[in-house]
Structure 1
Amino acid sequence: MSVRVVAHKRFMALFSLLAAICATPAWAAHGYAEYGDLKYPTGFSNFGYLNPKAPIGGMLLLGNPDRRTSFDKFNPFTIKGTSAPGLNQLVFESLLITSWDETASGYGLLADDVTVAPDELSVTFHINPRARFSNGDRVRASDVKYSYDMLMGKGASPAYRSMTADVAKVTVVDASTIRYDFKRKNKELPLIVGGLPVFSPKWGQGSGKPDDPDGGKDVAFDKLTFQDPVASGPYVIERFDPSRGITFRRNPDYWGRDLNVRRGSFNFERIQYKLYKDETARLEAFKAGEYDAMVEYRAKNWAKSYVGVKFRSGELIKSEFPHRNGAGMQGFVMNLRRPLFQDLRVRKALALALDFEWLNRQLFYGAYRRLDSYFANSELAASDSLTGMPSKGELALLEPLRSKLDPEVFGVLPAPPSTDPPSSLRDNLRQARRLLAQAGWTYADGALRNSKGEPFVFEMLDDGGAMSRVMAAYARNLEKLGIQVNQRMTDFALYQKRLEEFDFDMISLRFPDSQSPGNELKDRFGSAAADEAGSDNVIGLKSPAVDALIDDVLRADNRDELVTASRALDRVLMQGCYVIPHWYSASHRVAYNKNLMYPDRLPYYYSAEAWVLTAWWRTPESAQSAAK
């Protein structure tokens, strides 16, 4: 439901003018909280999970942060190509920075003041006059506007356009002030626009010298490759090799080193990523001491592989760090653009063939819990309900959509299939056969076939990571149903390309978690994003009911309303069985060199990789030794 603007009567004009002049902003402060109050007051010293006395120096050596084994650009915001690791965290900044011990709060980084209008239909940022780009230029409102315009362009990731769809216009008020006007009330939008990266128009601007690599000519934003970013972050690129790695050097003139939101962060003089050709090589290199820290996602590796001389001597340490992150959703995603997966009965049958309990015993060493929600491990999960039934608040949102929903939505939320007694894989496969038969698939001539005699065949796209063994085990169960699965392994670049073009049947994917879901839901589940290449709607979901429930999430005026709307949305998504849920862990597994230190107090909501980059430091003795 959009916000209606009602015109005032003529005789109220003077009163309205005076009211507007006298009105205090809904929020005018050093930061913005989507719901409730900011944890940290004006003039706070530092975030509580950082150590303001951490020494600065030395080098942090890291391996591949993900499956990328090479890169071909320094621009992480465009669709095409693979960007170098570390750029978002180290080189680019935004108007606001989020706090890792609050669910939805942002504090001034490039901005030193944020003002939300009384009607919540605009937000105004004042830019810190000290803010500087790496080339020494002052950060101005026009630079923020330029960055926004580039991110809205066709060459940029469509996620930016989707998340800011409710922005009506952006106005440069003066050199230091920028205002975003909204189409309707949306409490998350100040955080969204405040979190967009800011960079200079001079990034890619030609020097005019014909002997430069680009012939001295300007390079369009979506064509940028290895042109050094002109941004405001604490690090600049020192050297790189696209197939081997990249080194960042702390900017000695970094403008924000004394800001309270930066105090105790980015404590290494240099940060280097080394790229290895596969996960085995990366792990062995870590055990040999070639780099300093590694976040482990494979339970088997964690249980079996982090051993050896350096672990026995204490030179390398393995630890598990608890967190309060929502687990989000990870699973086998079925591409609804394929006719094969458009029948709910087929999707339910495929879900019945995944034996999580066997996988957890045999492959994961009992390390995981089963996911049962798109907001698992948080109060936003529909499964968090004691009865499993929709609450009165959920029903108020679901009832107007009843004609667009499966009746099962209004019943008890079903748990993911289990093979624990009294259930078994045999029972689950028997139930799957019944569902497939109802959908027109029966076993004949050695395969499951439809009425046209066509076999049930699909491809599972595999990037060669941790899911390969799981996919193979799942495929064996599907074979018992007469379903043929072709497991296609590709390199990371091709995998990413096919994902962005939705060129897959089934894929293993993780949807990021959020303690305060909002505009990203449009890009992830909204109908408008389903046909936009590069969007996060990899499912291909087009559901008016889901669209309406996303709007309900965005309209929430307080935390209770957000929880209710999120649970209603979660209930509908889970009932649709678009993803076969995987599993999650409530801790981060990190192995690291003994010379690395971290603050005594852990943040609540954080990624392990970002935490190591941001909050850790090297002992002064080892930093001095490395510098010699």
Structure 2
Amino acid sequence: MKNRPQSQAIAAQRNARDRVLRKWLAGSVIGVAALWAGAEAFADGHDPVTVSHGYTNFGDLKYGPNEVLDYVNVDAPKGGEFSQWSQGTFDSFNLFTRKGVPAALTTIGYESLLTGTADDPYGSYCYLCETIEYPESRDWVIFNLRQDVKFWDGTTMTAEDIKYSFELTLEQGITEYRSVYSQFIDSVDVLDDYRIRFNFSDSAPRRDVVSWVGGTSAWSKDWFEENGVRLDETADAPFMGTGPYRLDAVDIGRQIIYRKYPDWWGADLPINQGRNNFETIRVEYFADSSAAFEGFKSGVYTFRNENSSLQWATGYDFPARENGWVKVEELPDGSIGTGQGFVFNLNQEKFQDPLVREAITRMVNFEWMNETLFYGLYERPESFWDNSDLKATGVPSPEEVAVLQPLVDDGLLDASILTAEAVLPPASETAERPLDRRQLRAASALLDEAGWIAGDDGLRRKNGEVLSVTFLERSPQFDRIINPIVENLKRLGVDAVLERVDTAQYIERRRAGTFDIVNASLGQTFEPGQGLAQFFGSAAADDSSRNPMRLKLPAADRLIEQIVLSESLDELTVRTRALDRVLRAERFWIPQWQKGVHTVAYYDLYDFKEVPPLALSPIDNWWYDAERAEELRAAGAFQ
């Protein structure tokens, strides 16, 4: 993922949520399908049935059955501790509700029917199942479950647990999920203790269905019923799962420790070789990033994914680094860009005018920021699919025009979309000062055209209302970035302010839509599908954690439908480029910054084989060097 100057807590929380939703909410890059010379039978109506160890919609699976992953060390030693930090506080271990503030790594103990890898963007593999069966029509899928999967209480996972977990998400899950996916299932049939069949409705997008239900987490039905736990309420501990780590100790708001479950059922699976190597995972909480960095320097925790260009450029000259105790590295990143930016709350009437949105966007001088604040370390995002073939560039190709023309004919898009260059963020002529006067003049003309006229006091008004803009933020790290934008907007005649609140208030106001502008990461996946409706669809816009801008754009809805129905990679690519082009033309997003590498610092007690292209996940495939850790401890590296 791309690094950016925000707290690691924000990044970690977003990453944890995205990992879960990629499994749990379909439309993510678990993208699953493909045959491996499996058995073939015939369903009713002579529909061929494939039996396979995995699934991919495009090409072939990278790995065969019972193969280990290329990027792991199968001989990695087991044991030791991995420690990282998070910002703010937490009051719940339930990531599947809008209530409360979830703890970091809440889902570390959950496993799903299918799993992805960090080097196969389109493939998913049987995990809690041994094989899957599905007809060519994909009207249904059967999972043949492993019979040795155990929950932490020693009970065996069965098909009844899977059915319960799946139906629980449709009954009590986040509204945006239920509103999109509840219509796609006809029934779930338990065929026997270890076989379960999902039957899909006629409206279910066939390219997504296997990955969607394959992302079902395994929770214990008996545990939920005995404890009266609900998915739509906060929880003081993780749900009963099957995974390698479970909660060991917690100091609310300060520290969390997860410990390797000694009787974990999956330790000997080929796909797990060289993974989950640590005995404990510790998360230390800090009020802000500055305090967290001081904690790292003194060895309170030992791994840091550095998201501050200021710290990266100027902060790593402390004794532990000079002594060689801390390693600082830039590691390769082949994933799609984060799509990080400011987004407007489109429910606010003042932001429903695209001229206003464009004017405000022009007051963000990235070139000055990068030169002055970011030490030249960043690039500006241009697309929701940066670093992939799905990104729209230049004028539309003939194939894109064929996709867009019907939307123009139906009055959903202006005809200019057919010939215009894909929208790029405005570039400033100067990096020497925060305010680019050329952009100021252009923004002023846009606001004049929109009817926001500057008065004698310099403030712009329309119908007696002052044009005001509030940036809602929770991290002090953003002060140095937003304050110059605020000053630029004031020069434009906008009553702009930065409002910084604590984490709990920030999350609640973002959910409730009581803000003007907030940060959002809108980066997508290599195989977009139904999950796009949660980011950019109208149906879930009023209650979606992934669509904070409240976007309701009929043209985007139509394009999402077409993307979901794509049957080839070529179709998917052309339609996604068209959607990217249309979304960027709406200008609801002010692109911020990103990097093509992971900037990490860690105490020299960890090692790894290689960094896979799609994800940096030290918890998954790094390991602990006990001998080196003892040397550091003896040298006084940890206070």
The answer, yes or no, to whether TM exceeds 0.5 is yes
Aligned partner of 1:259 in structure 2 is 269
For 2:73, the equivalent position in structure 1 comes to 51
Structure 2 length normalisation: TM-score?
A: 0.88
- The letter of the residue matching 2:278 is F
Task: Provide the C-alpha distance between the structure 1 equivalents of 2:430 and 2:162, rounded to a whole number of angstroms.
Answer: 58
Structure 1: 5+ residue stretches without partners = 1-16, 207-216
Instruction: Judge conservation of contact 1:151–1:161 (CA < 8 Å) in 2.
Output: no
2:313 alignment partner in structure 1:
303
Q: Check conservation: 2:89, 2:503, Cα contact below 8 A.
A: no
Q: 1:504-543, aligned counterparts within 5 Å?
A: 504-532=515-543, 534-543=544-553
Runs of 4+ with deviation above 6 angstroms: 421-424, 623-628
In the TM superposition, what is the alpha-carbon distance from 1:400 to its structure 2 partner?
A: 0.7
The Cα shift of 1:161 comes to: 4.9
- Answer yes or no: is 1:192 the counterpart of 2:212: yes
1:13-412 matched pairs, under 5 angstroms: 20=44, 23-25=47-49, 27-44=50-67, 46-64=68-86, 67=87, 69-88=88-107, 90-154=108-172, 156=174, 158-159=176-177, 161-162=179-180, 165-182=183-200, 183-206=203-226, 218-383=228-393, 388-402=394-408, 403-410=411-418, 411-412=420-421
1:541: how far off?
1.1
Instruction: For 2:344 and 2:258, locate their aligned partners in 1 and report how far apart those are by CA, in whole Å.
Output: 39
SS in 2 for 1:561: helix
Q: 1:585 to 1:115 in 2, by over 3 A?
A: same
Q: CA deviation at 1:145?
A: 1.4
- Kept after mapping to 2: 8 A contact 1:116/1:122: yes
Alpha carbons of 1:227 and 1:292: their partners in 2 closer, same or farther (altered >3 Å)?
closer
8 Å CA contact 1:459, 1:487 repeated in 2: yes
SS at match of 1:274: strand
The corresponding residue for 1:13 is: none
- Write the distance in 1 (CA, Å) between the matches of 2:178 and 2:317: 43
CA deviations on 1:412-440 (whole Å, 9 max, x unpaired) are 22321111379982111111111111111
Distance 1:85 1:451 in 2: 45
SS at match of 2:542: coil
1:498/1:193 CA distance change after superposition, 3 Å: same
Among 419, 422, 429, the alignment partner of 1:413 is 422
- State whether residues 92 and 103 of structure 2, in contact with CA within 8 Å, keep that contact through their aligned partners in structure 1: yes
- Could you give the per-residue CA deviations for residues 180-199 of structure 1, whole angstroms, max 9, x where no partner exists? 23333431331222123221
Please give the alpha-carbon distance, in whole angstroms, between the structure 2 residues aligned to 1:512 and 1:413.
17
**Corresponding residue number in structure 2 for 1:12:** none
Given the alignment, which residue of 562, 587, 604 partners 2:613? Answer: 604
Which amino acid counterpart does residue 154 of structure 2 have in structure 1?
G
- Residues 1:421 and 1:163: Cα distance change in structure 2 (over 3 Å): farther
RMSD: 2.2
Are the equivalent residues in 2 in contact too, given 1:204–1:221 (CA < 8 A)?
no
SS at match of 1:575: helix
Deviation readout 1:192-218 (Å, 9 max, x if unpaired): 221232211234444xxxxxxxxxx63
Contact 2:134–2:142 under 8 Å retained in 1: yes
Judged with a 3 Å threshold, the aligned counterparts in structure 2 of structure 1 residues 177 and 170 are, in CA distance, closer, same or farther, namely same
Task: Give the SS at the match of 1:552.
Answer: helix
**What is residue 34 of structure 2 aligned with on the other side?**
none
| CA deviation map 1:143-174 (0-9, x unaligned) | 11111122123453633653565334333222
Q: Partners in 1 of 2:238 and 2:438 — Cα distance?
A: 59
Q: Tell me the CA shift for residue 322 of structure 1.
A: 0.9
Change (3 A) 1:498 1:547: same
Who is 2:597 aligned against?
Answer: 587
Check conservation: 1:447, 1:455, Cα contact below 8 A.
no
Amino acid at match of 2:95: P
Residues in 2 aligned to 1:278 and 1:365: alpha-carbon distance in whole angstroms: 22
Checking the alignment, whether the CA contact within 8 Å between 1:148 and 1:196 is kept in structure 2 is: yes
Do the aligned partners of residues 484 and 228 (structure 1) sit closer, same or farther apart at CA in structure 2, a change above 3 Å counting? closer
Between the aligned partners of 1:512 and 1:570, the Cα distance in structure 2 is 11
Distance 2:237 2:293 in 1: 32
TM-aligned CA deviation for residue 308 of structure 1:
1.1
**Secondary structure of the equivalent of 1:179?**
strand
In 2 relative to 1, CA 596–528 (structure 1 residues): closer, same or farther, beyond 3 Å?
same
Tell me: CA distance 1:447–1:456, structure 2 relative to 1, closer, same or farther (3 Å): farther
Report the residue type matching 1:169 in the other structure: S
| In 2: Cα distance, 1:369 partner to 1:311 partner | 27
Q: What is the distance in 2 between the residues matched to 1:29 and 1:449?
A: 63
CA distance in 2, matches of 1:531, 1:312: 51
Cα 1:495–1:288 change in 2 (3 A) is same
Check whether the contact 1:202–1:230 (CA below 8 A) recurs between aligned residues: no
| Equivalent position SS for 1:531 | helix
SS at match of 1:374: coil
Q: CA deviation at 1:447?
A: 3.5
Distance apart, 1:510 and its partner CA: 1.2
Of 406-415 and 570-579, the range deviating more from structure 2: 406-415
Structure 2: distance between partners of 1:18 and 1:499 = 50
Amino acid of the structure 2 residue aligned with 1:612: P
- Against the structure 1 CA distance between its residues 626 and 584, is the aligned structure 2 distance closer, same or farther, given a 3 Å change threshold? closer
- How many residue pairs get matched? 587
Normalization by structure 1: what TM-score? 0.89
1:516 to 1:468, Cα distance in 2 relative to 1, 3 A: farther
> What is the alpha-carbon distance in structure 2 between the residues aligned to residue 390 and residue 167 of structure 1?
36
Which AA in structure 2 matches 1:142? Answer: E
Percent same amino acid among aligned pairs?
A: 33
Q: Deviations over 1:371-421 (max 9, x none)?
A: 1111112111102xxxx1111221111111001112332222232111137
In the other structure, the counterpart of 1:433 is 444
SS in 1 for 2:466: coil
In structure 2, list runs of 5 or more residues that go unmatched. 1-40, 635-639
Q: Deviations over 1:532-562 (max 9, x none)?
A: 2x44221111111100000111111121111
Q: 1:36 to 1:499 in 2, by over 3 A?
A: same
Amino acid at match of 1:58: G
Q: Distance in 2 between matches of 1:24 and 1:352?
A: 56
* CA separation of 1:299 and 1:167: change in aligned 2, threshold 3 A: farther
Residues 302 and 624 of structure 1: is their aligned pair in 2 closer, same or farther, counting only changes over 3 Å? closer
**Tell me, what secondary structure is at the counterpart of 1:87?**
coil
